Amino acid sequence: MRQSLSSFKIFCRTFCYFRFSASIAARIARGDKVPPEDERYLLERDPTGFKLAMASRRPKRKPKQWKSALTDEDKTARTVETPEAGEPESGGAET
């Protein structure tokens, strides 16, 4: 039972990443403007999808300006996962 719950949580998290990535990539491919944090999210989570969206981008005369597709939880989870600038990534001793 415990294993099925953890695998369900992993599936839900993966599905959320895919859903956000797909919507951001679709907006980019249509030629619309997305916020920089959405582009960074897509680049970190799905670099291939980001490259494909940029390659298939169609120019628009009047691109739509989108608000961020990410929720506050996704933004905070992203900042927690990435190390701060200036912090050593490994646990090595400082000199």
* Domain definitions of the chain by residue range: 2-59
The residues facing 65 across adjacent strands are 33
pLDDT score recorded for residue 85: 45
Give 14's pLDDT tier (boundaries 50, 70, 90).
confident
pLDDT, one tens digit per residue, over 42-80 is 998 889 999 999 999 998 888 888 878 766 556 555 544
What count of Cα atoms within 13 Å lies in the side-chain half-sphere of residue 43?
A: 8
Phi (first) and psi of residue 92, to 5 degrees: -65, 160
